[in-house]
Structure 1
Amino acid sequence: MRACDGETEEWERRWHALAGELAARSAPDHAPTDDTPPPYVGLAAFQPEDAERFFGRETLTQQLLDKVADRRFLGVFGASGVGKSSLLRAGLIAQLRRSAAEPPVIVMTPGPRPIEECAVQLSGLTGRPAASLLAELRADAANLHLRVRQALADRRATDLLLVIDQFEEIFTLCRDPRERELFINALITATHAPTSRSRVVIGIRTDFYSQCAPYPELAGALQDGQILVGPMTTDQLRRAITEPAVRLGHTVETSLLVTLVADSAGEACVLPLLSHALLATWRRRRGNTLTLAGYQAAGGIQHALAHTAETVYQALTDDERDLVKDLLMRLVALADDPGDGEDTKRRISRDELPADPRIRNVLERFAAARLITLDGDSIQITHEALIRCWSRLRDWLTTNRENLHLRRHLTEAAEDWEALNRDPGELYRGNRLERVRQLAVGNPATLSPREQAFVNASIAAETDHHAEIRRHTRRKHLLFAMLALVVATGTAVITMYPTSQGSGNTPCWTSFDPVNPEGAPMDQYYRNCEKAERRVAAVDEEDKYQHKTVFDLQPDEVAHWRWNSTTKDHHYTTVYVTTRGSGR
């Protein structure tokens, strides 16, 4: 296709759709219909209760246990898809729960408000209301340390283990720098205080390592307290593939095992893809045997995930496809610079979704395929591998990137507006409002109720603002017109009725002139002045060029003349007249 300049991505979509149709037709012949629990978890991370089918990380789990016993703050770094979350849950936590001490464990992800999430999780340990804990933590970072000490006062032989998975969310989802810094300070204080009763383990992607550097206490804590999770070895892959199936009485064809190891070896981010491909292969098993044919029908490691996503997508109606496009793009946190970082998954609440009854069916379809995870009120992509591997989703993110940034800002602005009791000062105006207005007109069904209310309020406020400007402009114009009328009327009155009367009927031919400070006789400037019955004409006879200015004054009312001389090229001459008295 590339050699012929063909549309490879379009043909890839068609291939996935055809493969899904063929798989659906062949499924009844090969896939058992019983409710046997699968040996593989697919895209989802292993949980503590999945420890019986978690294999391949035994050595690393023991190293992690030793590190936690030795240090109070530990960072677990690794690429996306290397298995950090599974290691923390099905490895570390599962082993601690089996130990004699069985320390209290809290597992959390930061989300957009890490302090709030920490308060919610800590309330179960302390017995205090989450709202009260939240106020205390925001008031002073040291309160986390104090509350943990208080909660464990009767359990002197153990410490709290606080596991914070996906720690990178404090950089990708938390928009408040103060809350981010406060959360970090609370963790550092809780683990570094002389009377500390806390141990903290954070799981974080390696590409966010540098973002920890601006926080000196965090960088110092990670300096010697970290574990790097790398790809599995060949032997570890073999155990991860075969042991879960054997435990449930299944077998893996040798040819399939060889192919899986060859396709996975050396790949750091392959584990969720491998687990998903194994789950899809198990669903196509022949009896109790996972076969190479079933693996190939599923699309293999490279295409099984995209094939599953495309199959679910193609089964939707056209309207539902528009909804799922908006849904999945909401579930992605965009990298600031696509060339310097990867897009990550984003957890949202249901009230961020459009108020459309069809959205429930879309959610259930994708959740049933384990492509997204529904947890109470929250929704998230099960694994970021979906962002990397499904070409349709990648295309959506690429072609709509500018609008997505605008849309994300709208979502956050609407949340802030709601949190501040719909403060009018938070509303959009100007160019930003115009861009959002165009977005809303083009995609009205994709706005959540909160976003729609925010846009409507912004438009109404902008309309009122422009109306007030027009009213102010009209008032200003009216005022200027009235002032002009007053000035014109006053000028006319002054012209028609001199303010005072002088004495005598003979004009004075001398006057002070700034150009003539010595007071020379005015007749050196003015050669002739001719009086008419209701007019006064001034004539310059030196250059034989006559200029006339006519005034509605009686000749005997003229006291002083001042001639502002001009050249012949000018068409106008100014004559300043001073009447007898103080008028001008």
Structure 2
Amino acid sequence: MQDTSNLKNPFVGLRAFEEHEDYLFFGRGAEINDLLKKFSNSRFLAVIGSSGSGKSSLVKSGLLPAIYSGFLSVGKNWRVALLRPGNDPIGNMASQLAVEGVLHDKTAESDIPYKPIIESTLRRSGGGLIQAYRQAHLPPTENLLIVIDQFEELFRFSRYEKETNEGKSDALGFINLLLTATQQQDYPVYVLLTMRSDFLGDCAQFRGLPEAINEGQYLVPRMTRDEIREAITGPIAVSGAQIAPRLLTRVLNDVGNNLDQLPILQHAMMRTWDAWHKKKKFAVPIDIEDYEKIGRMTTALSQHAEEAYAELTTDKQRLSCELMFKALTDKAADVRGIRRPTSIPDLARLSGSSNAEVMEIVEIFRKPGRTFLMPPPDVPLNDHSIIDISHESIMRIWDRLVKWIDEEAASAEVYLRISEASKLYKEGRTDLWRNPELAIGLKWYHANIPNAFWAGRYNQDFDQAIDFLLKSEARALELEKEKARAARFRKRVAIGAIIILSLIAIGAFISALLVNNARNEAKRQEGIAIENRMVAETAKIEADSSAARALRAKGEADSSAARAVRAEKSAVKSAEEATIARDNALIAQEKAEKERQRAEALLLTTIEQNKNIAASEYQRLIREGPTEKDSITAALWNFKYFAYSYHLDSLRNKLGVQRAVQKNDELYEKLYYSLMASGETKTELEENRSFVIEQVGAEEATTTGQVTEKYSLGNSSAVTIGIDKSSVAITNPGWKDDIMTFPGKISAVATNAADKCLLVATEDNTLTVRKYDAYGGYVENVIPMGGQVTALDYYESSDVIFFGLKTGEIGYIKYDNQKDSKNQPVYRNELDAKVTAIDFFIKDAAPQLLATSSKGQAVVYELGLNTAMIEEFLKENKTLTGIELPESVGEIKTASFLQEENRVQLITTKGVYHWNPFVTELSAKLEAELKEDPKDKVTLQKIIGETTFY
């Protein structure tokens, strides 16, 4: 017996046999003859079989060597392009046709870019393959054979790639190239493909393909017991070894009817050979103990894969391995599961690893004796290598991989559901998600931490899908907060009702007690009065009966009469005292009722007035620092720092109010908030105004003493608007405080300090003009507006009231203080939503009007070249033109022009922004300065400091 110690393992494992391994390929002689007969009558041959039936091995190690040997009538001169469709079927075909010795010789020595030229030719038309053959100028005796292995990869578009139709379009072009080439007879071009039988139905999606397959189809039969015996004993005999008869019988019995019988058999025999070879007892046949050691056919593959997995030493490697295998398999596109060859850079991105780390893991799974991953171990890996699973059977047999594949398919399914829902939501055809869909989506999101690159394998709407999911979560959280607030409010109301009812009961008890005491006292006094009246009547009777004796004893009678008079007076007095007692009882009852009301009022008004606004630390302000030494650039950065600092200050104010609201836990605490402004200007007050209104809400207030916003009126007066939004309080040292209430809620306020004028717009579509003098305030005019005013400003020099409406219209009133004057509103322009701010200002002697909307629109209108032209502006009846904010800054709450900074300040839901709308004049100024003296950095720095910044 020859020395087998240096022989290679004759079994290839999970992968298919290659052309050069035909000397190890046994058991398919009859099938090879059938294929040659079939191919001799057709230029198109489709080898069809189930997964694991040996299609690829039959073609590569069986049919191709027979073709090279000249068993076809067309000769033995063959140029073969062997490829798989992958994700780029036409590009992959071009790459293989450009390989030296296929369409062109000595391509390595040539500077001609054959691959792009061939690909361009292929993509030009359905006859591109024939055209590429003609351009190669091959001898007429040279046959071209296109071998497409794993043809089913072409159908991967069937689920998610067809959403854009790109995958199907490329597949259609590829199939047209093949069909056109095989339907002509002028050039010797042949097509041979292998395909899983469970994908035959997918062929119907392409016109002409089912017909071609029907004419040139060969269905690979299952190997008989004798053929399997030959496939086992043949390679062992070639290697000079022997197999024990009992092991051969055992293996044949274990093969059974498993669809993956051939790759599992090859893998089990490869592992059994290795176990036998390690013993170095080459004279002893391969026996059952070697077979048992590797776990037999039932568990050999899974056990072997676990051994490879166990060589991963870190958690990061194990996680990367999991993500890599999930990327190399595809069950999401089709439940049958297919391989998905992927480049090393793409695997690195999907697994969060480097190319080197990916290659290290791949090497573990493709060591000699392990054929789980391709390319084979004798092919060096580089950054451009394509990694593939050696056979689909590993997807069905390795238990760990089965679990990973199911997880990946489920993850892709959830993502695609979210993506589809986000698309419908964007089109207005569905709402944001609620539970249980939202719970499933969030669980998937937090468990998988997906990224755009991973999602791109399924569709390209990742950002839209995640935005939809997070918006759904935000709304769900808000609904939960509202439910919690409602529950707390109901609880507080119940507690308050119990307390109030308790106080009422106590008050009623006290009142009843007092009334009862008073009633008893009245009865006692009434009894005394009755007794006194009876005494008086008795005395009178006695006086009458003694009348006769009175005549005889006048002095005695006079005395008795006197006593009777005194008794009668005493009775009258007793009756009066009884009446007083009854009155006292009623007074006591009324007092008890007042005490009850006072106790109730005390409960409702005893509320904490202010909360300490907690300031929180924010992330570092400077996201990018100046790297240039140029002073002009440095000046621009300094201005950016100032603007960002101002922005962060406003965010701190907002955060403070939010935390104060969140910490409100006592009964009815939300009914009262007080905002103390740090400055005297309208701008500083309006910065806080939007935050308080947003956080507290007008509907939760009850009394005027609760403050939302303040304005100055005159030198020392102050205007305070209650949170109830229906009252205004005016305070002024030396004046009596003035409180004014309105039938509707206040929607806008403006003041004029010079004229001591207060403008109040309410939701009943009226505008009230209230003036103040040394004696107090009085209503000068009430103007019907025809719409709800949401923003106001007053230019006293021309008595012009500028306003904006909830519906977006902008207009003015030329105000006349005579009540019988018309004071008609005039509308000139319209914004895209509710007007949130109107501010009249003068810039370089030219009157300007700033208007903003709740959707983020901001426009500055020029009303003339100088203030004298205001009257002309009022007479014109045309739409204004203005400079509009070019960027989106979120919902604008309020805005004003800052004279000192020469900028518009925008208070938005995102923070505070500064905007210079006069960029055109600055650009002109800058251009002029550059022409005059481009080195004048001082002037340039000044101009840069005035440029626009958001």
Query: TM-score surpassing 0.5?
Result: yes
1-structure distance, mates of 2:810, 2:332 = 65
2-structure distance, mates of 1:305, 1:384 = 12
Q: Is the 8 A contact 1:352 1:450 kept in 2?
A: no
Counterpart among 20, 34, 42 of residue 49 in structure 1:
20
What SS does structure 2 have at the residue aligned with 1:200?
strand
Counterpart among 397, 402, 426 of residue 410 in structure 2:
402
> What is the CA distance between 1:260 and its match in structure 2?
1.1
Match of 1:84 in 2: 55
Structure (1 or 2) with the larger CA radius of gyration:
2
Match of 1:167 in 2: 151
1-structure distance, mates of 2:51, 2:21 = 20
Counterpart among 110, 129, 137 of residue 144 in structure 1:
129
Q: How does 1:33-44 map to 2 (within 5 A)?
A: 35-44=6-15
2-structure distance, mates of 1:112, 1:195 = 31
1:344 aligns with 2:667: no
**Unmatched 5+ stretches in structure 2:** 105-112, 162-166, 419-431, 472-689, 691-746, 749-788, 792-802, 824-950
Match of 2:361 in 1: 362
2-structure distance, mates of 1:311, 1:329 = 19
Match of 2:89 in 1: 114
> What is the CA distance between 1:436 and its match in structure 2?
9.9
What SS does structure 1 have at the residue aligned with 2:176?
helix
2-structure distance, mates of 1:159, 1:229 = 25
Counterpart among 284, 303, 306 of residue 299 in structure 2:
303
Q: How does 1:200-349 map to 2 (within 5 A)?
A: 200-285=191-276, 286=279, 287-288=281-282, 289-317=285-313, 318-336=315-333, 338=335, 342-349=336-343
Distance 1:334-1:449 versus aligned 2 partners, 3 A rule: closer
Number of residues paired by the alignment? 435
**Unmatched 5+ stretches in structure 1:** 1-31, 411-429, 467-473, 501-584
Matched to 2:50, the amino acid is A
Q: Is the 8 A contact 2:4 2:239 kept in 1?
A: no
Matched to 2:238, the amino acid is R
Q: How does 1:512-531 map to 2 (within 5 A)?
A: none
1-structure distance, mates of 2:145, 2:440 = 47
1-structure distance, mates of 2:460, 2:168 = 26
1-structure distance, mates of 2:43, 2:149 = 16
Matched to 1:244, the amino acid is P
2-structure distance, mates of 1:48, 1:258 = 29
Deviations 1:273-317 (A, max 9, x none): 000000000011152332111111111112110110111112323
Q: Is the 8 A contact 1:111 1:173 kept in 2?
A: no
Of 320-329 and 193-202, deviating more is 193-202
Matched to 1:146, the amino acid is Q
TM-score, normalised to structure 1, is 0.66
> What is the CA distance between 1:380 and its match in structure 2?
0.8
Deviations 1:46-105 (A, max 9, x none): 000000100001111121122222210111000000000001100111222233623111
Q: Is the 8 A contact 1:76 1:203 kept in 2?
A: yes
Q: Is the 8 A contact 2:344 2:358 kept in 1?
A: no
Of 266-275 and 491-500, deviating more is 491-500
Counterpart among 85, 102, 111 of residue 77 in structure 2:
102
2-structure distance, mates of 1:257, 1:495 = 117
1-structure distance, mates of 2:153, 2:810 = 69
Of 294-303 and 43-52, deviating more is 294-303
1:179 aligns with 2:163: no
Match of 1:390 in 2: 398
2-structure distance, mates of 1:223, 1:33 = 47
Match of 2:785 in 1: none
1-structure distance, mates of 2:805, 2:217 = 80
Q: Is the 8 A contact 1:48 1:94 kept in 2?
A: yes
1-structure distance, mates of 2:805, 2:94 = 68
Q: Is the 8 A contact 2:452 2:463 kept in 1?
A: no
After the TM superposition, which segments of 4 or more aligned residues of structure 1 sit over 4 Å from their partners?
32-35, 405-410, 434-452, 454-459, 477-480, 485-489, 491-495
1-structure distance, mates of 2:53, 2:345 = 32
Q: Is the 8 A contact 1:76 1:202 kept in 2?
A: yes
What SS does structure 2 have at the residue aligned with 1:304?
helix
Matched to 1:365, the amino acid is I
Match of 1:518 in 2: none
> What is the CA distance between 1:387 and its match in structure 2?
0.7
Of 89-98 and 251-260, deviating more is 89-98
> What is the CA distance between 1:38 and its match in structure 2?
0.6
Distance 1:308-1:66 versus aligned 2 partners, 3 A rule: same
Of 253-262 and 208-217, deviating more is 208-217
Distance 1:494-1:271 versus aligned 2 partners, 3 A rule: farther
1-structure distance, mates of 2:416, 2:240 = 48
Counterpart among 81, 92, 116 of residue 131 in structure 1:
116
1:371 aligns with 2:358: no
1:74 aligns with 2:42: no
Could you tell me the percent identity over the aligned residues? 28
Matched to 1:332, the amino acid is T
Matched to 1:129, the amino acid is Y
> What is the CA distance between 1:36 and its match in structure 2?
3.0
What SS does structure 2 have at the residue aligned with 1:496?
coil
Deviations 1:244-299 (A, max 9, x none): 01111110111110011111244442100000000000011152332111111111
Deviations 1:362-398 (A, max 9, x none): 1111111211113651001111111111111112222
Distance 1:361-1:142 versus aligned 2 partners, 3 A rule: same
Q: How does 1:561-572 map to 2 (within 5 A)?
A: none
Match of 1:496 in 2: 819
Distance 1:361-1:62 versus aligned 2 partners, 3 A rule: same
Matched to 2:153, the amino acid is E
1-structure distance, mates of 2:54, 2:144 = 24
Matched to 1:98, the amino acid is S
TM-score, normalised to structure 2, is 0.42
> What is the CA distance between 1:108 and its match in structure 2?
0.6
2-structure distance, mates of 1:442, 1:170 = 32
Distance 1:209-1:489 versus aligned 2 partners, 3 A rule: closer
Of 485-494 and 321-330, deviating more is 485-494
Of 324-333 and 485-494, deviating more is 485-494
Deviations 1:111-139 (A, max 9, x none): 01111111111223334621122222222
Q: Is the 8 A contact 1:168 1:208 kept in 2?
A: yes
Q: Is the 8 A contact 1:56 1:240 kept in 2?
A: yes
Distance 1:494-1:85 versus aligned 2 partners, 3 A rule: farther
Matched to 1:371, the amino acid is F
Matched to 1:39, the amino acid is P
2-structure distance, mates of 1:393, 1:351 = 22
Matched to 2:387, the amino acid is I
Computed over aligned residues only, the root mean square deviation of the Cα atoms, in angstroms, reads: 3.9
What SS does structure 1 have at the residue aligned with 2:192?
strand
1-structure distance, mates of 2:181, 2:17 = 28
Deviations 1:407-461 (A, max 9, x none): 7999xxxxxxxxxxxxxxxxxxx999x9999878655699879979x999959x9
Of 242-251 and 352-361, deviating more is 352-361
> What is the CA distance between 1:495 and its match in structure 2?
6.8
Q: Is the 8 A contact 1:79 1:268 kept in 2?
A: yes
Q: Is the 8 A contact 2:272 2:294 kept in 1?
A: yes
> What is the CA distance between 1:224 and its match in structure 2?
2.1
2-structure distance, mates of 1:96, 1:280 = 32
2-structure distance, mates of 1:408, 1:305 = 33
Match of 1:353 in 2: 347
Distance 1:489-1:261 versus aligned 2 partners, 3 A rule: same
What SS does structure 2 have at the residue aligned with 1:160?
strand
